[in-house]
Each structure stands twice: as C-alpha cells, then as structure tokens.
Amino acid sequence: MVTVISFVIAIALLVAVHEWGHFAMARVCGVKVLRFSVGFGTPLWRWISPQSGTEFVLGAWPLGGYVKMLDEREGPVDASERHRAFNTQTLSRRALIVLAGPLANLVFAVFLYSIVNWIGVQQAQAVLSKPLEGSIAAQAGIVGGEHVFRAGFEGDDLDAVASFDDFRWWLTRGALAHRNLQVEYANDPSHDRKTVTLALSGVDSRIADAQLFRNIGIIGPYSEPRIEEVLPDGAAKMAGVQAGDLVLRIDAIPVLDAGDLRERIRASGVSGVAAAQQWQVLRGQTRLVLHVTPKAEAYDGHMVGRVGAMIGAPPASTTVQFGLVAGVHRALLRTGEVSVLTLRMMGQMLIGQASVKNLSGPITIADYAGKSAALGVTQFLVFLALISISLGVLNLLPLPVLDGGHLMYYLWESVTGRPLSEVSMEWLQRVGLGILLVMMCVAMFNDVTRLLG
C-alpha cells in the first residue's frame, strides 16, 4: 500500500508541476487557459476560477495531465478574444510556453535538492571496503579502509567528497562518461594523503546496475565483519555463530571487512560443494574458533556459498548538510549533472553504446517510490528530484508527441518562415507516437524482467 500511495503522490505531483509550468507561462504571455487538468478519466474534483474562467480538474487516473488553451485550431474563437489564442501568439511566446513545462520540472528538482541539502541527511562516511580481486580499484592499489577526502576527473581540479554516496556518484559519472577518476585518500585520517587514479575510461558501462560497481570493485562503504543476525537452520547457527560475533580470520587469513567476509563465503560454494571453514571470532572479550560449513546454492546462474546470517555492522555515518547558498549551489550542480548524464545515457542507448535494459517503466518507478518513502522524507525527496529531472529531460527530446517535438516544429518555422504543413505534422505525430510506444514497451519488459528475476 505504501508503494502504491507513494507512486500516485509522486506522479501526480510531478505532472502537476510540469503542467503548471505551461499554465504559468501561458498566463504571463496573455494566453487564455481553458482547463488545467492533473489526471485523466472521471473528474474527482472540479473548480472554475471566477476571475480567469479556467477550469481546474483532478482526474481519477493521475498518470498524466494537460493544459487546454484557447486555440483556433481546436474550435471557433470569438474575435474579441483572438489575441488571447495560443495559435495567434508570436513564435517566441509559443516556444516559451512549451519550454516552460520541462523547465518547471528541472527547477522543481533544484528546489527539492536544496531542501535535502538544508535539512541534512545521514550518510555513510567515505571509507572504502576491500575491493573485489582483479577489479579496477584493486589494480589501482586500493586495499580497503581508505578514507576518501577529494575526487575529480583526470585533468580537472579535485572536489571535496562529503560521504560515500557522494563518492559513488563520482564513480557513476566517471564510468558512464568513460573518464578516469583521481581520488585523494589516507589510510587513516591522521596519515598523509595520497592520490590514486581509477581507470574508469575502460569500464563496461552499458548497463548501469550493481555489476557496474562490481567491475569497478567498490560495492559499498567499509563495514565491520560483524554478524548482525543468525537465521535458524543455517550453517552459521549449526556452527554456533551468534549475533554480535566479530569475524577476525577465516582459515588463518585476516578478514578485512564485511564485504570481504561475504565474498569469501560466496566463493566457498563455486565448485558446487562448499568447503568447511575455520572461523576465528571475537565474542565480547573472548576469542573463539568455530568450524563453519557453508551450503552451496544456485544464485543468478552461479553456485555460491551461504551460511544463513546477516553480515555487516552499520557503517560509520556522517551528517551531510549545507547552508542556504551552498545548498542551492550544490542543488544546481546536481540537477545539471543528472540532466547531462540522462541525456548521455539516452544518446548511448541510441547508438548502441548502452543497453536498453537501462530503461525503466512504471513498475520500477513505483518500487523505488515505495522504498524511498520507507527510508524517510529526505530519501523520498531525492527520489522525486530524480524522477522530475527524468520527466523534464524526456519531454525535451525531439519527438513530435513531446514538448521537444513542438520546439522542433517552431525551429522549422523560424528557419523557413512558415509553419509545418498539417500533413507533415500528422505524419510526424504518428512516427513520434510509435517511437514512444516502443520505448514504453521496452521499459515495461525491463520492469517485468526485474520483477521476475
């Protein structure tokens, strides 16, 4: 229920913001707005403004919306109001009205990010876990436990890293843009700082998922190899492992962190028959030796070892918060970065450099809406900001059924001095609708695949 409610609130709000952009600019340009609707279907609420005559409607299905303006192409217009019709406006005014919708979504994202920055959010400290063997991070000399202070793309100045989430964003941008990342770190906050370069220019970034970070080698922040919960009937329970145990060694080899412990348990079942392991654990002040035999299980097409335990203490956290001006500045930067990254990803999908599996539809959006809402207000606001940016950028694409398509018509009109013919416009509308339907089908297919996987 939380997922459904969160999804409906998110979509209705973002659609309202988008349509309000068109509505507000139309009013500024002197165009009469006949109806402002959020949602389709049977009206749940209706109100007519006595001043402007605009009808405001809330539909039963909040998966879209529209602003209906006075327009001679859609019906007869009284001569006294012809100057208020959309089609009689100058080219620049029509373009501004169309452009205002996507821009409203981008401005709304800046507003949401600013609120999050002002409120502050608890995030994991930028302390790295042990990288996976053979990964880019491991090849660069990262061993785990490094405190990251600054990062920047090769050839650029380094910027402060506020948290592990901040550093993960640097990794994401670097991988998708194929740019190497310079990282300034210290093995301990009191030690001298060093700089290392992560070769992200060669990473396979066609699918931006968990596998991308496994290739880089940095999956999560540092977390103690502590047992948080022992599940009944699991290998850990049978071996006498208890919640709170700190795993120091496996087969006399030191365990560096929770990620290292998980990987070594997983690796024990690769052959299909998990080998017994000798664990040295710290329980309170007492060191114990326990013999644990993981169970080999199939997972994602591979055999892995399982012990039936929740592993990893919560990572050390820090409060990331910014002042009034700094919060807005950072929000502007993040909105710009996400917008550029979204456009780049779409472009890469178009030329085959990125997989269409990156497309997500309503099922995935609803899932993330519920998960973010469950994590708290700030996480839900961040989710809203991301979707608002996606909505704004998507509508700027030069597809005839989108705002970007209308801007494309106006560009043609500005160059040729005459509007596009009705026949050409109708043909392009059909092509654009077909492309959009294909994208929606692919996104829905990806959603169902993720759901069933």
The mean pLDDT value for 309-320 works out to 90
- At 216-272, the pLDDT tens digits run 888 889 999 999 999 998 999 999 999 999 999 999 999 999 988 998 999 888 888
Residues near 162 by Cβ (< 8 Å), separated by ≥ 6? 123, 126, 318, 320
Establish whether 228 is a catalytic residue: no
> How high does pLDDT run on average in the chain?
87
| Confidence bin at 27 (pLDDT 50/70/90) | very high
Would you call 24 exposed, middle or buried from its count of C-beta atoms within 10 A (0-12, 13-18, 19+)?
A: middle
Q: Would you say 333 and 416 are in contact if contact means Cβ atoms under 8 Å apart?
A: no
Secondary structure (3-state) at 122: strand
Contacts 24+ apart (CB under 8 A), 448-453: 448/363, 449/357, 450/363, 450/364, 451/363
Tokens 């843009």: give the residue: 177
Query: Where are the domain boundaries for CATH 2.30.42.10 in the chain?
Result: 136-216, 227-314
Q: Which of 299, 304, 244 is nearest to 274 (CA)?
A: 304
pLDDT, position 367: 61
pLDDT at 366 over 70: no
pLDDT, position 365: 61
Higher pLDDT, 73 or 441: 73
Q: Which of 156, 124, 151, 123 is nearest to 137 (CA)?
A: 151
Tokens of residue 374, six digits: 């469950």
- At 381-403, the pLDDT tens digits run 998 999 999 999 989 988 888 89
Q: What is the topology classification, in CATH, of domain 136-216?
A: Pdz3 Domain (2.30.42)
Catalytic residue, chosen from 19, 146, 184, 263, is: 19
For residue 286, which phi and psi values (nearest 5 degrees)? -110, 135
Q: Would you say 207 and 352 are in contact if contact means Cβ atoms under 8 Å apart?
A: no
DSSP state of 188: S
| Confidence bin at 347 (pLDDT 50/70/90) | confident
CATH of 227-314, one of 2.40.128.50, 3.30.43.10, 3.90.1150.10, 2.30.42.10: 2.30.42.10
